[in-house]
């Protein structure tokens, strides 16, 4: 039994067998397989060699010009390696003698060869180590890609363990069988955390070298309430956790009971609660948890979970399914937020040196107008079915907003020409998630119907902290005075312009921050559906007067630590049950 | 390196099964790097006989690029080639020609 402490990213308890998703970008940890599994591992390894040979032969046959001769030669060398029987035998022998996974045997054997090359004094030979690494990567891609596909076809309940999880990987998860997530990297607002919360499954992140200490198939307990993961627990621990899990479910059911009650504070101020969703299938969950609409419908997943770009019909189908669930309640569809850590199928192979400051989100859309127009067409067509709003992400200046509006207008004219119905008065809004947008909110407010503050990106861009990097993640705080001042500016400007404003970041799902946000003037909150009952519970236990006092106090403070401590104490006093 | 025994029909045995040995010197400037190693393996693989290549320290399989490239033979290195089995002498001739006369289609060192 081994216990590891990380950061709790999504609540709940999961007791399940682990499935490990390794990545060719990282060293492959030594993992054991059952001796009876050895032939299967060797077969996997051989299949990977065969597939790599096929792939390379295809690549090689395309290189015909004189300049390409050199590349052809390199590929020929790689092919020779991939067909080298003594190499394959060496790897198979290692699987047999040490009972390790095919990935580990391939990686270790090839790295050993590469290190031999590096030792050679002759540069011409030592530099050839790069070729060996290239061959290793090619083989690992085959082996790991295969495993990733298997995750999409699970047949039993599992806990997913990985160094980190990308949106592309999580998009393929089968919700029925994935019961918990545990990753080495990440923070409370990393992609893994967001996905886990929207699926309503426990997650623990920032476990450092956790993937090194698990073998595929090991029983693990993921305790998302305490931020603990236990590998191969003893019977006593399993029993304890089974009881604890039961209690937790009962607690959640109790919260579900307040679903029908309105979200009003003790002094009768009405708060609107909406849900953030990614898949149309989650729409029902929002209603079940007492949400009054969708405040943020992320649409990237249409691009991430299929091997081809989605068609207009696929967009339309996903939107209309969601809208049908909500009828006349609002559904806010955010146009694609691709780039940074989320790529389309055709763009994923062109990495940028600084993706979060690069071609992402609205910038990507404005440079790929066909993709953008297709989505807007689908959104507009869907707007005939209910109360749809459209929202543009990552706006940094007025020009981008005007351009996006103009393109939307073009699409409307196209639809008019074709006599296709849509909501002519569709509300248009923007995400405020960059300091630039926050500082010019008064200008931007004139040309939109609503704002939505995305606290995750706003915090990241304001504090210049990568929220997924555990080395600096302690610097990431949405209650840093700098972030709070920007949020206050945006709220004031929106009220002045008399436009709607909501908060849709992870910040709004932290019990400690709710009172502060209410006190600052927030009246509409959109969060992951599983968190809605708890949020409503908090709202029903406080008065706006208390919240106002807290906000006044906080906005006079100059240090993040002071603010955090004050909020924790205040919340504990007013909401002892939240801890 | 252990040489595996070769299966051979009995009647051809006397004609073709023999062991040949020769010594070659790497003459191209860049030595036995990846592409020459591949050429060597390509030629060696055309023959049925076993091909063993040795430097002072190691004996390696001349049909395995992994093992051949591990020899890391630079220009001027002496290698022993041993062939054992069918067409052993043709094999050794072809390999000697590749290393010393064709020099892997590469240039010798500049004076």
Residues of B in contact with A116 (CB under 8 A): 70, 72
- Other Cβ atoms less than 10 A from the Cβ of A344: the count is 18
| The predicted structure's pLDDT at residue B15 | 52
Nearest Cα of chain A lies from the Cα of B63 at a distance, in angstroms, of: 8
Residues of A with CB under 8 A from a CB of B: 73-74, 76-77, 80-81, 84-87, 90, 113, 116-117, 120, 122, 124-125, 128, 131
Sheet holding B78-85, edge to edge: B18-25, B78-85, B50-54, B59-61
Closest CA to A441 of A498, A494, A505: A494
Cross-chain residue pair B66–A117, CB shorter than 8 Å: no
| The predicted structure's pLDDT at residue A301 | 75
Task: Count chain A–chain B contacts defined by CB atoms under 8 A.
Answer: 55
Q: Which residues pair with A10 in a beta bridge?
A: A203
Closest CA to A537 of A256, A333, A303, A292: A256
ipTM score assigned to the predicted complex: 0.80
Environment class of A258 (CB within 10 Å of its CB; exposed 0-12, middle 13-18, buried 19+): middle
Q: Following DSSP, what letter does each residue of A272-285 receive, concatenated?
A: EEEEEESSGGGHHH
**Residue B66 contacts A where some CB pair is shorter than 8 Å:** yes
**In this structure, which CATH number among 3.40.50.280, 3.50.30.10, 1.20.1250.20, 3.30.750.24 belongs to the domain A2-26+153-251?**
3.50.30.10
Cross-chain residue pair A81–B66, CB shorter than 8 Å: yes
Which of A79, A122, A133 is the best mutation test for B, with the most CBs of B within 10 A?
A122
The answer to whether domain A263-578 has CATH 3.20.20.60 is: yes
Q: Which part of chain A is CATH 3.20.20.60? A: 263-578
What is the pLDDT tens value at each position of chain A, 579 positions in all? 889 888 888 888 999 999 888 777 677 888 888 889 899 999 999 999 999 999 888 887 776 666 677 777 888 889 999 999 999 999 999 999 999 999 999 999 998 888 888 887 777 777 778 888 889 988 988 888 777 767 777 788 999 999 888 766 776 787 789 999 999 887 766 778 878 877 788 999 989 888 888 888 889 999 998 889 999 999 999 999 999 988 888 877 777 778 889 999 999 999 999 999 887 778 888 998 899 999 999 888 787 666 678 899 999 999 999 999 998 999 999 999 887 666 554 554 466 778 889 888 999 999 999 999 999 999 999 999 999 999 999 999 999 999 999 999 999 999 999 999 999 999 999 999 999 999 999 999 999 999 999 999 999 999 999 876 778 878 999 999 999 999 999 999 999 999 999 999 888 888 889 999 999 999 999 998 888 888 998 999 999 999 999 999 999 999 999 999 999 998 888 877 654
Mean pLDDT, each 10-residue run in order, chain B (111 residues): 51 62 90 87 93 90 89 87 92 93 83 59
- Other Cβ atoms less than 10 A from the Cβ of A466: the count is 16
- Other Cβ atoms less than 10 A from the Cβ of A216: the count is 18
Residue A230: both structure tokens together = 């236990």
Q: Catalytic residue positions of B?
A: 33
Closest CA to A524 of A337, A389, A434, A382: A389
| The predicted structure's pLDDT at residue A46 | 94
Whole-number Å distance between alpha carbons of A37 and A268: 64
> Under DSSP, is residue A330 helix (H, G, I), strand (E, B) or coil?
strand
**Residue B67 contacts A where some CB pair is shorter than 8 Å:** yes
Whole-number Å distance between alpha carbons of A150 and A422: 41
Nearest Cα of chain B lies from the Cα of A96 at a distance, in angstroms, of: 20
Residue partners of A386: CB distance under 8 A and separation at least 6: A323, A324, A326, A327, A328, A329, A331
| The predicted structure's pLDDT at residue A346 | 53
Closest CA in chain A for residue B60: A86
**Residue B69 contacts A where some CB pair is shorter than 8 Å:** yes
- Other Cβ atoms less than 10 A from the Cβ of A115: the count is 11
Residues of B in contact with A76 (CB under 8 A): 35, 38
Q: Which part of chain A is CATH 1.10.274.10? A: 35-149
Nearest Cα of chain B lies from the Cα of A67 at a distance, in angstroms, of: 16
Whole-number Å distance between alpha carbons of B64 and B41: 6
Whole-number Å distance between alpha carbons of A22 and A164: 9
Do the Cβ atoms of A433 and A396 come closer than 8 Å? Answer: no
Closest CA to A467 of A490, A485, A449, A483: A483
| The predicted structure's pLDDT at residue B103 | 87
Residue A105: both structure tokens together = 């045997």
Nearest by CB to A124, which of B31, B61, B64? B31
Q: Which residues pair with A332 in a beta bridge?
A: A389
Q: Which fold has domain A35-149?
A: Enzyme I; Chain A, domain 2 (1.10.274)
| The predicted structure's pLDDT at residue A376 | 98
Residue partners of A193: CB distance under 8 A and separation at least 6: A9, A10, A186, A187, A203, A205, A506
Q: Which part of chain A is CATH 3.50.30.10? A: 2-26+153-251
> How far are the Cα atoms of A29, A222, B1 from residue A215, in angstroms, in the given order?
9, 15, 35
Whole-number Å distance between alpha carbons of A491 and A99: 60
Domains of chain B: residue spans and CATH: 18-105 (3.30.1340.10)
């Amino acid at each position: 039994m081994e216990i590891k402490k990380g950061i709790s990213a999504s609540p709940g308890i999961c007791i399940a067998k682990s499935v490990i998703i390794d990545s060719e970008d990282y060293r492959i940890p030594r993992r054991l397989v059952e001796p009876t599994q050895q032939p299967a591992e060797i077969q996997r390894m051989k299949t990977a060699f065969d597939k790599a040979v096929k792939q390379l032969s295809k690549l090689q046959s395309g290189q015909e010009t004189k300049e390409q001769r050199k590349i052809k030669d390199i590929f020929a060398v790689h092919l020779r390696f991939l067909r080298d029987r003594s190499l394959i035998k060496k790897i198979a022998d290692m699987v047999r003698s040490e009972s390790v996974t095919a990935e580990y045997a391939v990686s270790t054997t090839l790295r050993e060869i590469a290190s031999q090359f590096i030792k050679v004094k002759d540069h011409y030979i030592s530099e050839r180590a790069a070729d060996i690494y290239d061959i290793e990567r090619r083989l690992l891609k085959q082996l790991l890609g295969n495993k990733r596909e298997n995750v999409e076809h699970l047949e039993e309940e599992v806990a997913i363990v990985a160094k980190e999880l990308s949106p592309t990987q999580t998009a393929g998860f089968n919700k029925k069988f994935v019961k918990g997530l545990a990753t080495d990297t990440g923070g409370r607002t990393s992609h893994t955390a967001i996905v886990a919360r929207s699926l309503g499954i426990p997650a623990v992140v920032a476990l450092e070298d956790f993937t090194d200490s698990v073998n595929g198939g090991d029983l693990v307990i993921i305790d998302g309430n305490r931020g603990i993961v236990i590998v191969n627990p003893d019977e006593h621990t399993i029993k304890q956790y089974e009881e604890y899990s039961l209690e937790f479910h009962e607690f959640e059911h109790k919260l579900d009971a307040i679903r029908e009650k309105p979200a009003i504070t003790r002094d009768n101020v009405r708060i609107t609660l909406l849900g953030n969703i990614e898949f149309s299938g989650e729409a029902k969950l929002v209603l079940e948890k007492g949400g009054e609409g969708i405040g943020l419908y992320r649409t990237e997943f249409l691009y991430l979970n299929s091997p081809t770009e989605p068609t207009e019909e696929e967009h339309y189908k996903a939107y209309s399914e969601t809208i049908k669930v909500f009828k006349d309640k609002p559904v806010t569809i955010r146009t694609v937020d691709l780039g940074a850590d989320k790529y389309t199928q055709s763009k994923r192979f062109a990495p940028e040196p600084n993706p979060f400051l690069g071609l992402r989100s609205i910038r990507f859309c404005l440079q790929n107008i066909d993709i953008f127009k297709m989505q807007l067409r689908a959104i507009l067509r869907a707007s005939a079915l209910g109360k749809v709003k459209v929202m543009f992400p990552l706006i940094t200046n007025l020009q981008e907003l005007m351009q996006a509006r103009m393109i939307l207008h073009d699409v409307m004219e196209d639809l008019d020409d074709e006599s296709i119905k849509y909501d002519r008065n569709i509300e248009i809004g923007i995400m405020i998630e960059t300091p630039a947008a926050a500082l010019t909110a008064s200008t931007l407010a004139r040309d939109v119907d609503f704002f939505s503050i995305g606290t995750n990106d706003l915090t990241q861009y304001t504090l210049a902290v990568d929220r997924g990097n555990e080395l600096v993640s302690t610097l990431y705080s949405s209650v840093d005075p700098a972030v709070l001042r920007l949020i206050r500016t945006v709220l004031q400007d929106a009220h002045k312009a008399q436009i709607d404003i909501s908060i849709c970041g992870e910040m709004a799902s932290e019990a400690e921050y709710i009172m502060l946000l209410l006190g600052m003037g927030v009246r509409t909150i959109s969060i992951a559906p599983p968190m809605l009952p708890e949020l409503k519970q908090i709202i029903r236990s406080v008065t706006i007067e208390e919240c106002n006092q807290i906000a006044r106090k906080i906005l006079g403070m100059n240090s993040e630590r002071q603010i955090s401590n004050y909020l924790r104490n205040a919340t504990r006093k007013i909401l002892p049950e939240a801890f | 390196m252990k040489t595996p025994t070769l299966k051979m029909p009995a009647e051809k045995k006397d004609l073709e099964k023999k062991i040949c040995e020769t010594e070659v010197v790497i003459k191209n400037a860049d030595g036995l790097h990846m592409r020459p190693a591949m050429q060597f393996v390509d030629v060696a693989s055309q023959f049925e006989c076993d091909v063993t290549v040795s430097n002072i320290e190691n004996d390696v399989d001349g049909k395995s690029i992994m093992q051949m490239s591990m020899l890391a033979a630079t220009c001027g290195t002496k290698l022993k080639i041993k062939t054992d089995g069918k067409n052993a002498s043709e094999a050794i001739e072809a390999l000697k020609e590749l290393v010393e006369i064709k020099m892997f289609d590469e240039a010798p060192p500049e004076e």
